[in-house]
C-alpha cells in the first residue's frame, strides 16, 4: 500500500463513518471496528477490513489489529471514536449507565492505545486521535458522568502526548460541540432528549459528522513533526 493503515473505532455511523469515507477517499487502507459490522460492510470501501469488536474487549481489538497489519502493514493512525452519551442527574440516573460510559469512553480508548502504542514508539512514528467533546472542557446540565468521561479523554490524551513526544508519536484531541449523530439516542430520558433537541434547534442546527472528519483529516495529514494538539469546533451559534 502507498499509504499506511488507519484504525477507526465506532465506525458504523456518525463521525466514524464520515471519517472512514473521508480517509478512504484519500487512499488510506482502513480497519473499521464497531459492534454493527453490517453497517460498516455496507460502506463498501476499498482496502478496508471490517470487524465486529466491542472496544471494552482489549483482546478483540488486538486480534483485529493483528489481522489488519498482516494485510496492510503497521498501524500508523488510531482514531478512538467509539463513545456513549447517557445523560441524567446524579441522584436519578442508573449507575449502570455511568459504568457503561466509563467502560466505552475511557477504557475503550485506553484499550486501543495499549494495542498500538508500543509499536508506534518502536518505529518512532504514529498518530493517535481521540474524539472527546466540548463536554471535556466545560460542564453541562445532566452531563455529570458524561463530562467526567470526556474530561478523562482530554487528560489522558495530553498526558500520553507528553510521554511519547520524544518518540515522535503524536496524540491529538478533537473536541466537537453538538453534532448530528446517533449519540443522543442512547439517553433513556425523553425529557432530556427533548430539551437537547430544542437546544440544537435554537442554535439553527448543529455541525455534521463530515465537519469532524475534515478536521481529523487536516490534523492527521500534517507532517509527522507537527502535532495539532487539540481542535475544538462547533456550530457558530453554539454558545457554551
pLDDT digit string, tens, across residues 196-213: 788 888 888 889 999 999
Tell me the domain boundaries of the chain: 5-233
Record the pTM. 0.95
| HEC readout, the chain | CCCCEEEEECCCCHHHHHHHHHHHHCCCCEEEEECCHHHHHCCCCCCEEEEECCCCCHHHHHHHHHHHHHHHCCEEEEEECCCCCCCCCCCCCCHHHHHHHHHHHHHHHHHHHHHHHHHHHHHCCEEEEEECCHHHCCCCCCCHHHHHHHHHHHHHHHHHHHHHHHHCEEEEEEEECCECCCHHHHCCCHHHHHHHHHHHHHCCCCECHHHHHHHHHHHHCCCCCCCCCEEEECCCCCCC
- Reading the chain (240 residues) residue by residue, the pLDDT tens digits are 689 999 999 999 999 999 999 999 999 999 999 999 999 999 999 999 999 999 999 999 999 999 999 999 999 999 999 999 999 999 999 999 999 999 999 999 999 999 999 999 999 999 999 999 999 999 999 999 999 999 999 999 999 999 999 999 999 999 999 998 766 677 878 888 788 788 888 888 889 999 999 999 999 999 999 999 999 999 999 988
For the question of residue 28 being annotated catalytic, the response is no
Range 5-233 classified under CATH 3.40.630.30: no
Options 146, 196, 218, 220, the catalytic residue:
146
Q: What's the whole-number average pLDDT of the chain?
A: 95
Please state the φ and ψ torsions of residue 34, each to the nearest 5 degrees.
-170, 170
pLDDT digit string, tens, across residues 33-73: 999 999 999 999 999 999 999 999 999 999 999 999 999 99
What pLDDT does residue 191 have?
Answer: 83
Amino acid at each position: 500500500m502507498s499509504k499506511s493503515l488507519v484504525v477507526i473505532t465506532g465506525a458504523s455511523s456518525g463521525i466514524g463513518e464520515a471519517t472512514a469515507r473521508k480517509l478512504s477517499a484519500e487512499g488510506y487502507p482502513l480497519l473499521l471496528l464497531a459492534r454493527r459490522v453490517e453497517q460498516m460492510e455496507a460502506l463498501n470501501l476499498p482496502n478496508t477490513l471490517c470487524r465486529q469488536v466491542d472496544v471494552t474487549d482489549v483482546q478483540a481489538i488486538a486480534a483485529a489489529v493483528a489481522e489488519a497489519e498482516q494485510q496492510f502493514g503497521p498501524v500508523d493512525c488510531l482514531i478512538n471514536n467509539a463513545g456513549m452519551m447517557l445523560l441524567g442527574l446524579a441522584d436519578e440516573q442508573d449507575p449502570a449507565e455511568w459504568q457503561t460510559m466509563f467502560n466505552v469512553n475511557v477504557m475503550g480508548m485506553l484499550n486501543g492505545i495499549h494495542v498500538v502504542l508500543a509499536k508506534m514508539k518502536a518505529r518512532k512514528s504514529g498518530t493517535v486521535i481521540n474524539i472527546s467533546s466540548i463536554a471535556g472542557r466545560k460542564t453541562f446540565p445532566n452531563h455529570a458522568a458524561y463530562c467526567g468521561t470526556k474530561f478523562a479523554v482530554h487528560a489522558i490524551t495530553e498526558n500520553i502526548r507528553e510521554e511519547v513526544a520524544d518518540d515522535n508519536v503524536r496524540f491529538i484531541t478533537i473536541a466537537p460541540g453538538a453534532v448530528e449523530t446517533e449519540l443522543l439516542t442512547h439517553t433513556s430520558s425523553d425529557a432530556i432528549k427533548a430539551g437537547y433537541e430544542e437546544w440544537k434547534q435554537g442554535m439553527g442546527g448543529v455541525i455534521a459528522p463530515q465537519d469532524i472528519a475534515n478536521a481529523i483529516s487536516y490534523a492527521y495529514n500534517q507532517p509527522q513533526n507537527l502535532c495539532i494538539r487539540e481542535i475544538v469546533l462547533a456550530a457558530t451559534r453554539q454558545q457554551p
